[in-house]
Structure 1
Amino acid sequence: MANETTIPLLPCRSLDDVAPFYQALGFEVTYRQERPNPYLTLRREDLHLHFFGMAGFDPADSYGSCLVVVDDLVAIHGAFADGLRAAYGKVLVAGVPRMTRPRPRRNQEGHSGFSIVDPGGNWIRFVGRATQAETGDRGGLARTLGNAVVQGDSRGNPGQAARILDGALARPDAADDPAVHVEALVYRAELALQLGEPEAARELVGKARSVPLDDESRARLAGTLRHAEDLLKALPHG
């Protein structure tokens, strides 16, 4: 057999929840019906997602998930982030819906990935087809950060991820590699937002900003530093 196509069919509470969110990400609605059963089809280039509505469905109870392999992980994440900023005034980094940022995943053999948690509570997991996997074990804070990412980004357990990182960040050698230190602080700030701790998030972003970086490290961390600004925009006012 050849030319097969598999399309995820995912649950949601309401089509009115998921349609505007995915349209902000650049999807178009290709079909929609309300009766006899709510059904929605979405398309973004070669990526198709279908949704069915369930009255009384709680997104927190969703086990819906799918894996999307893409050629350019950074480009599609950037396009999604721009769409969220245009539609919502910020990148959604906490709550439901939300989007993580590309990070190496220890449970994906070091390949980078990011996830979208949509309004139906479904996890759309993106991984780069051509990304070079991180090899070797740098140990220390870098290894701990990788373990935290597995818990927070892959398994959806920000509390456990925060506990893992807190122990490592408290060690005297946490700042030995400034670039990794910044990555860890910014990720911990993201976890704080997910855990409903905005002041802790603000403090962690401040610490990340204060880490001295050379020009090479600052250029390499451009995405992380922009993400830190997105975290500040996501903080509640007042």
Structure 2
Amino acid sequence: MANEVTVPLLPCASIDDIVAFYEVLGFRTTYQQRKPNPYAALQREDLHLHFFEMAGFDPAQSYGSCLVLTSDLEGLHRAFAAGMRAAYGKVLVTGTPRMTRPRARKNQDGLSGFSVIDPGGNWIRVVRKATTEPLPATTPAGRLAKALANAVVQADSRGDVRQAVRILDSALARPQPDDDPVTQVEVLVYRAELALMLDDPETAADLLDRVKRVVLSEEETERAASAYENAADLAAALRRV
């Protein structure tokens, strides 16, 4: 057999909310019904997701999840982020729905990934498709990098934000002279993102101020470009809190 296609079928509390959200991300509705049960089929290029509505369903208690493999991780994230900015004026980083940023995942052989948590509480886990090329070394170098890698597993993969906070706070409380300043920026920005997820805008603002005080060379600033982009999104979210 060949050319088989598997389509995730995920629960939600409101088909209308699901359709509206995924349209923001560039999906189109290929099928929708209200009876005998609310149902919708959504498609974005080769990405297919189907949803069914459940009366009394609580997105906070959802175990719905699926894995999306793509060779253009950054492009897909940029497209989703652009849709969010156009519809909401910002990238959604807190609450439900929301989206994480692409980060290397220690529990996925170092491949980068990000997650979309939709209005139904479903985790759409987008991961870079592995190639036949040998993978680079996946062991993070340095104390802060190891803490960041562990925190990403806890928050972005498991959804345990508070454990990720404990890991990062412990690392930030023990600065070392040889800490990589780029990783320091990445840790501070990620910690600010987690603070917003925990509805703690004051801590998030303080952490973003600390980011501005980290002195980087021109080369280091280029390496930290993604973190600074994330910081700008977080600052925009703070202005709307």
Same fold (TM over 0.5): yes
> Where does residue 233 of structure 1 map in the other structure?
236
> Where does residue 156 of structure 1 map in the other structure?
159
Per-residue deviation at 1:170? Answer: 0.7
| 1:84-233 alignment, distance < 5 Å | 84-130=84-130, 133-173=136-176, 176-233=179-236
Question: For 1:233, what is the secondary structure of its paired residue?
Answer: helix
What is the CA deviation profile of residues 136-179 of structure 1, one whole-angstrom value per residue up to 9, with x for unaligned ones? 34130100110000001000011010011000001021772100
Distance 1:76-1:65 versus aligned 2 partners, 3 A rule: same
Measure, in 2, the Cα distance between the counterparts of 1:36 and 1:176: 59
Task: Say whether the 8 Å CA contact 1:31–1:40 is kept in structure 2.
Answer: yes
| Paired amino acid for 1:62 | S
Q: TM-score, normalised by structure 2?
A: 0.95
Per-residue deviation at 1:233? Answer: 1.2
Per-residue deviation at 1:219? Answer: 1.4
Q: TM-score, normalised by structure 1?
A: 0.96
Distance 1:38-1:91 versus aligned 2 partners, 3 A rule: same
> Where does residue 35 of structure 2 map in the other structure?
35
Distance 1:233-1:137 versus aligned 2 partners, 3 A rule: closer
Per-residue deviation at 1:222? Answer: 1.4
> Where does residue 82 of structure 2 map in the other structure?
82
Distance 1:142-1:177 versus aligned 2 partners, 3 A rule: same
Per-residue deviation at 1:55? Answer: 1.1
Task: Say whether the 8 Å CA contact 1:105–1:111 is kept in structure 2.
Answer: yes
Structure 1: 5+ residue stretches without partners? none
Measure, in 1, the Cα distance between the counterparts of 2:177 and 2:96: 31
Return 218-227 or 187-196, whichever deviates more.
218-227
Per-residue deviation at 1:237? Answer: 4.4
Counterpart check, 1:46 vs 2:46: yes
| Paired amino acid for 2:39 | Y
Runs of 4 or more, structure 1, over 6 Å off, are: none
> Where does residue 24 of structure 1 map in the other structure?
24
Task: Say whether the 8 Å CA contact 1:26–1:83 is kept in structure 2.
Answer: yes
Per-residue deviation at 1:215? Answer: 1.2
| Paired amino acid for 1:195 | L
Distance 1:47-1:174 versus aligned 2 partners, 3 A rule: farther
Task: Say whether the 8 Å CA contact 1:111–1:127 is kept in structure 2.
Answer: yes
Per-residue deviation at 1:203? Answer: 0.7
Number of aligned residues:
238
Question: For 2:176, what is the secondary structure of its paired residue?
Answer: helix
| Paired amino acid for 1:97 | P
Task: Say whether the 8 Å CA contact 1:111–1:133 is kept in structure 2.
Answer: no
Distance 1:237-1:70 versus aligned 2 partners, 3 A rule: closer
Measure, in 2, the Cα distance between the counterparts of 1:71 and 1:172: 37
Measure, in 1, the Cα distance between the counterparts of 2:179 and 2:116: 32
Percent of residue pairs identical: 61
Question: For 1:172, what is the secondary structure of its paired residue?
Answer: coil
Per-residue deviation at 1:135? Answer: 2.6
Structure 2: 5+ residue stretches without partners? none
Per-residue deviation at 1:213? Answer: 1.0
**Root mean square deviation of aligned Cα:** 1.4
Return 214-223 or 118-127, whichever deviates more.
214-223
